[in-house]
DNA sequence: ACAACCTACGTTTTT
DNA sequence: CGTAGGTTGT
């Protein structure tokens, strides 16, 4: 095969080792995507594997699309026939086919995070719980954490250790909320993101015939970004590959940055234990970056303890030194970045698209944007507030969702009184209570509204159901675009927006038009066989904004480090290198957390091909106040011989002065970023030490002293592992012995 | 039922 | 600072 010639020996090995379990440890910039695509091409061409039998799982649609495109370049249209997509999209597809085995209709809705939070909020309210204690975010992340580890609500409620943890956190009703949440999702014929994976596990567990079918179907299973899989995802792939054992995982433990959503770096670190005859290939030659950048990145990542051994090296030139940009305020930081881009672009004849500005949090984009706008540099923002999260878009989509699935409670709540039709909160509540308490489908309740609502409200509901029915007929008869246009017009939504002549109103109107255009595009695309509204909804439920922007204007890219993974740019600016911002204060509760932040820094630096800039500001606006900042500890971890300090000066003093007096400096003065000692009391019984922060309990051992927010000080008596769970029995001075599930426990190790 | 005002709260990352 | 949610008044 002549296409194998361009590969180096380990790359080639990875491509040609097609049978049996294989793990490819792919360092940054080592040509991972290339190996993956060649491998698939090799399977199809040399090994004559039917493309339908190859399943490739990625984390983002972008990665999947890119891979598909590149395979197509290699072997042509045959590539279309391989199964390729994100975990969520592939298994959503399978669940649609098999949904009835789980009691779901095949037109189930996929709830996004906003829907989930809103549902949790109503449940908390209905249960008359304190919404200060049961915040939607907290509850959802707890439920999500459980689902990712395959703990059902039944398991959750019955597990004494989880119960103890929740009680300790003063959130004893968590299990009840989880239960109500799942029941409600089911009644709404809806799944949240985690359910797509959770339910796939249930499907494979309870229906051996189904599992068998897919085991036979997918003879080759490939997992990209394996370091970011959670337990739920890992078990799915393991089960699928159990018969043929042709599982190939590709990843880089140094780039694992999604622990917050359940990714378990142990999956990659311990992969060998699950597959004793595992073949391991390491790709260590970096083709992307200069020696300086590779060295700087290596000097950062080597501080981490938990990692697989690997030495990333390159043949490339040394290139420029890493440039350290110091500035006195976030606005000045923006100006310096913008002027550096301006100069470099002119001096080196580069395009805007050769530059990227990376930051830790989305809110940091503002200052950069302003500076770029002032210098007339085109930029685009990746991520941030999603198009699909905008109110007007969610409203129209909710109409479409409700027409397709009348059980969808969240969609119903959005549209029942928008545009206003005289159905207020109390009427809505009556309807929902009727549906929930007597376990009647929502749609049935709506069709009998007159039996329990006052005349006026009942009439409105009746008009509403008539309208929805007409939309349903429209949807059955016509394609998705025509149906959606009818819905937008006849619901009155478009008129409502049209009448709003403010700038925002105009924007909203245009956004709705853009959504309609997207549907038109979907319908006109010859690759899509099913052109119904339902098909469109399924398609976009799992799309993020990142997948939408196809425009190829020459622009500087602004994004979070997380969304930069897998990309590369000639010149990269990592801004906001300040302690407590990066590494993030909120994140830092243990050594493991610091290591994840460090991996994030590693990911950021390794995006750069030719030149890397690290930048920090001494003051920054946050919550509308000017805060003092210190340079990040990470800056000290970079090998100093790789760095030089930026000499740019400009009128720093004057501009700093302006920044700080702009608006309301002076009276309150600067507020130190260092967290004040005052902390909220978390328990009545025991007030934890003022600096109480849960430690990571992975390395908890017998005899250690620990502190618990409710039970106070105690001593570790026993640590044991049960299945995938780790538990510790702790003797507390005032509360006796308690056994806690460590993954959920809030414990501080007393040094 | 709805608009106008007022207060509290949060900003970590994404499928 | 901006937003979401709650409370008041019509």
A624 marked as part of a ligand binding site: no
DSSP secondary structure code for residue A285 in this structure: B
User: A196-205, A300-309, A352-361 — which is least confidently predicted?
Assistant: A300-309
Whether residue A489 is predicted with pLDDT greater than 70 in this model: the reply is: yes
Tell me what pLDDT residue A685 has. 30
CB-CB contact of A549 with A380 (8 Å): yes
Q: Across chain A, what does the average pLDDT equal?
A: 84
Q: Span A721-734, mean pLDDT?
A: 63
Classified as helix, coil or strand, A650 is coil
What's the full length of chain A, in residues? 751
CA(A488)–C1'(B7) in Å? 36
- Start-to-end Cα distance in chain A: 60
Tell me what pLDDT residue A469 has. 95
Provide the 10 A C-beta neighbour count for residue A525. 10
Tell me what pLDDT residue A672 has. 29
Residues 6+ apart with CB under 8 A from A11: A30, A31, A34, A35, A38, A283
Classified as helix, coil or strand, A705 is strand
Residues 6+ apart with CB under 8 A from A320: A290, A292, A610, A611
Nucleic acid strand C within 7 Å of A624 CB: yes
Rounded Cα distance between A607 and A50, Å, is 35
Rounded Cα distance between A139 and A66, Å, is 35
Q: Span A46-55, mean pLDDT?
A: 92
Q: Which of A54-68, A131-145, A560-574 reaches the highest mean pLDDT?
A: A560-574
Tell me what pLDDT residue A651 has. 41
Q: Pairing relation of β-strands A712-722 and A705-708?
A: antiparallel
Whether residue A393 is predicted with pLDDT greater than 50 in this model: the reply is: yes
User: A430-434, A541-545, A673-677, A721-725 — which is least confidently predicted?
Assistant: A673-677
Rounded Cα distance between A161 and A724, Å, is 14
Structure tokens at A289: 């970056």
Nucleic acid strand C within 7 Å of A664 CB: yes
CB-CB contact of A425 with A433 (8 Å): no
Whether residue A173 is predicted with pLDDT greater than 50 in this model: the reply is: yes
CB-count burial class (<10 Å; 0-12, 13-18, 19+) for A273: exposed
Strand partners, A705: A715
For residue A61, give the nucleotide whose C1' atom is nearest its CA.
B15
Cα dihedral A132, A137, A142, A143 sign: positive
Which helix H or strand E contains A301, and what residues bound it? helix A291-301
A33 marked as part of a ligand binding site: yes
A32 marked as part of a ligand binding site: yes
Tell me what pLDDT residue A323 has. 95
CB-CB contact of A381 with A559 (8 Å): yes
Nucleotide C1's nearest residue (CA vs C1') is A624
More confident residue, A17 or A453: A17
Q: Span A135-145, mean pLDDT?
A: 89
Tell me what pLDDT residue A202 has. 96
Structure tokens at A411: 């969609």
Q: DSSP characters for A685-701?
A: S----TT--PPP-TT--
For residue A562, give the nucleotide whose C1' atom is nearest its CA.
B13
More confident residue, A424 or A440: A440
Rounded Cα distance between A114 and A394, Å, is 10
Whether residue A716 is predicted with pLDDT greater than 80 in this model: the reply is: no
CB-CB contact of A322 with A600 (8 Å): no
Closest CA to A116 of A92, A91, A137: A137
pLDDT above 90: percentage of residues in chain A: 46
- Angle (nearest 5°) at CA A749 between A745 and A751: 175
Q: What is the pLDDT of residues A647-698, one digit of tens each?
A: 665 444 434 434 443 333 322 223 322 222 222 222 223 345 545 556 666 6
Tell me what pLDDT residue A452 has. 75
Which chain C positions come under 7 Å from a protein C-beta? 1-2, 5-6
CA(A242)–C1'(B6) in Å? 60
Q: Span A190-203, mean pLDDT?
A: 95
Whether residue A36 is predicted with pLDDT greater than 80 in this model: the reply is: yes
Nucleic acid strand C within 7 Å of A121 CB: yes
CB-count burial class (<10 Å; 0-12, 13-18, 19+) for A380: middle
| Residues, CB < 7 Å to strand B | A 59-61, 86-89, 113, 132, 135, 137, 193-194, 257-258, 260-261, 360-363, 383, 417, 420, 422-427, 457, 542, 544, 546, 559-560, 562-563, 584, 586-587, 622-624
More confident residue, A105 or A714: A105
Place of tokens 């924007």: A507
Tell me what pLDDT residue A709 has. 63
- The torsion region of residue A89 among left (phi > 0), alpha (psi -120 to 50) and beta comes to alpha
Tell me what pLDDT residue A681 has. 21
Rounded Cα distance between A715 and A732, Å, is 7
Nucleotide B12's nearest residue (CA vs C1') is A361
Whether residue A235 is predicted with pLDDT greater than 90 in this model: the reply is: yes
Tell me what pLDDT residue A742 has. 64
CB-CB contact of A236 with A197 (8 Å): yes
Nucleic acid strand C within 7 Å of A666 CB: no
CA(A427)–C1'(B1) in Å? 11
CB-CB contact of A724 with A731 (8 Å): no
Q: Span A131-154, mean pLDDT?
A: 90
Nucleotide B8's nearest residue (CA vs C1') is A132
Which chain B positions come under 7 Å from a protein C-beta? 1-3, 9-15
Which stretches of A438-502 are DSSP H helices? 442-447, 455-477, 480-490, 493-499
Nucleic acid strand C within 7 Å of A623 CB: yes
Rounded Cα distance between A361 and A549, Å, is 20
Tell me what pLDDT residue A743 has. 57
Q: Span A485-511, mean pLDDT?
A: 82
pLDDT above 70: percentage of residues in chain A: 86
Q: Span A66-83, mean pLDDT?
A: 85
Classified as helix, coil or strand, A372 is helix
- pLDDT band for A292, please (50, 70, 90 cuts): very high
CA(A697)–C1'(B5) in Å? 48
Q: Pairing relation of β-strands A220-223 and A379-381?
A: unpaired
CB-CB contact of A204 with A191 (8 Å): no
More confident residue, A598 or A725: A598
Which helix H or strand E contains A195, and what residues bound it? helix A193-206
Tell me what pLDDT residue A206 has. 96
CA(A435)–C1'(B3) in Å? 31
CB-CB contact of A72 with A80 (8 Å): yes
Q: Which of A75-79, A528-532, A548-552 reaches the highest mean pLDDT?
A: A528-532
Whether residue A603 is predicted with pLDDT greater than 70 in this model: the reply is: yes
Residue A102 backbone phi and psi in degrees, to 5: -100, 5
Nucleotide B13's nearest residue (CA vs C1') is A562
Tell me what pLDDT residue A741 has. 64
- For the annotated catalytic residues of A, the residue numbers are 32-33, 224-225, 255, 607
Q: Span A385-407, mean pLDDT?
A: 86
Whether residue A744 is predicted with pLDDT greater than 60 in this model: the reply is: no
């Amino acid at each position: 095969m002549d296409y194998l010639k361009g590969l180096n020996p380990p790359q080639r090995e990875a491509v040609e080792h097609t049978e049996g379990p294989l793990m490819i440890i792919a360092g940054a910039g080592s040509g991972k995507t290339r190996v993956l695509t060649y491998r698939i091409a090799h399977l199809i061409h040399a090994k004559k594997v039917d493309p339908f039998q190859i399943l490739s799982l990625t984390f983002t649609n972008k990665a999947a699309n890119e891979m598909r495109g590149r395979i197509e370049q290699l072997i042509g249209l045959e590539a279309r026939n391989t199964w390729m997509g994100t975990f969520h999209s592939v298994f959503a597809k399978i669940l649609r086919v098999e949904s009835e085995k789980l009691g779901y209709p095949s037109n189930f809705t996929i709830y996004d995070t906003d829907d989930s939070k809103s549902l949790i909020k109503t449940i908390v309210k209905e249960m008359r719980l304190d919404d200060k204690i049961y915040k939607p975010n907290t509850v959802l992340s707890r439920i999500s954490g459980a689902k990712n580890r395959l703990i059902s609500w039944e398991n959750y409620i019955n597990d004494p250790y989880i119960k103890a943890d929740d009680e300790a956190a003063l959130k004893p009703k968590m299990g009840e909320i989880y239960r109500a949440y799942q029941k409600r999702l089911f009644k709404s014929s809806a799944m949240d993101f985690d359910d797509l994976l959770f339910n796939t596990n249930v499907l494979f567990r309870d229906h051996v015939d189904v599992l068998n079918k897919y085991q036979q179907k997918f003879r080759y299973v490939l997992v990209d970004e394996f370091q970011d899989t959670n337990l739920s995802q890992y078990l799915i792939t393991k089960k699928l590959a159990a018969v043929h054992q042709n599982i190939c995982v590709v990843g880089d433990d140094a780039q694992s940055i999604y622990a917050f959503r359940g990714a378990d770096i142990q999956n990659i670190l311990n992969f060998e234990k699950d597959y004793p005859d595992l073949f391991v290939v390491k790709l260590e030659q970096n083709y992307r970056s200069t020696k300086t950048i590779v060295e700087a990145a290596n000097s950062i990542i080597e501080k981490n303890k938990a990692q697989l051994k690997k030495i990333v090296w390159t043949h490339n030139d040394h290139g420029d030194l890493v440039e350290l940009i110091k500035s006195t305020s976030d606005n000045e930081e923006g100006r310096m970045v913008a002027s550096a881009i301006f100069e470099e672009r002119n001096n080196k004849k580069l395009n805007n698209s050769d530059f990227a500005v990376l930051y830790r949090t989305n809110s940091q984009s503002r200052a950069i944007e302003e500076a770029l706008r002032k210098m007339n540099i085109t930029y685009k923002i990746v991520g941030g507030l999603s198009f699909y999260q905008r109110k007007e878009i969610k409203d129209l989509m909710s109409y479409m969702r409700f027409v397709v699935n009348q059980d969808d409670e969240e969609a119903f709540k959005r549209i029942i009184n928008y545009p206003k039709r005289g159905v207020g909160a109390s009427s809505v509540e009556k309807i929902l209570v009727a549906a929930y308490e007597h376990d009647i489908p929502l749609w049935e309740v709506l069709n009998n509204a007159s039996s329990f609502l006052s005349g006026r409200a009942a009439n409105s509901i009746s008009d509403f159901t008539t309208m929805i029915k007409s939309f349903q007929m429209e949807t059955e008869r016509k394609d998705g675009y025509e149906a959606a246009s009818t819905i937008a017009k006849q619901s009155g939504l478009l008129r409502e927006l049209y009448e709003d002549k403010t700038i925002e109103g105009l924007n909203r109107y245009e956004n709705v038009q853009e959504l309609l255009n997207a549907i038109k595009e979907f319908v006109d695309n010859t690759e899509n066989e099913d052109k119904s509204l339902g098909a469109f909804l399924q398609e976009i439920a799992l799309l993020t904004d990142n997948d939408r922007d196809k425009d190829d204007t020459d622009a500087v890219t602004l994004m979070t480090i997380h969304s930069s993974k897998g990309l590369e740019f000639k010149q990269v600016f990592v801004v906001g290198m300040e302690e407590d911002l990066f590494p993030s204060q909120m994140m830092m509760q243990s050594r493991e957390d610091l290591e994840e932040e460090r991996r994030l820094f590693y990911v950021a630096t390794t995006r750069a091909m030719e030149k890397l800039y690290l930048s920090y500001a001494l003051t920054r606006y946050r919550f509308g106040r000017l805060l003092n900042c210190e340079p990040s500890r990470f800056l000290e971890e970079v090998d100093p011989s790789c760095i030089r300090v930026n000499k740019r000066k400009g009128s720093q003093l004057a501009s700093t002065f302006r920044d700080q007096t702009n608006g309301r400096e002076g009276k309150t003065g600067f507020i130190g970023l260092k967290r004040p000692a005052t902390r909220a009391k978390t328990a009545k019984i025991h007030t934890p030490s003022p600096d109480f922060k849960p430690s990571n309990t992975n390395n908890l051992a017998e005899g250690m002293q620990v502190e618990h927010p409710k039970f106070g000080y105690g001593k570790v008596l026993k640590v044991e592992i049960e299945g995938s769970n780790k538990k510790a029995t702790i003797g507390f001075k005032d509360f006796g012995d308690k056994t806690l599930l460590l993954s959920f426990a809030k414990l501080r190790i007393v040094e």
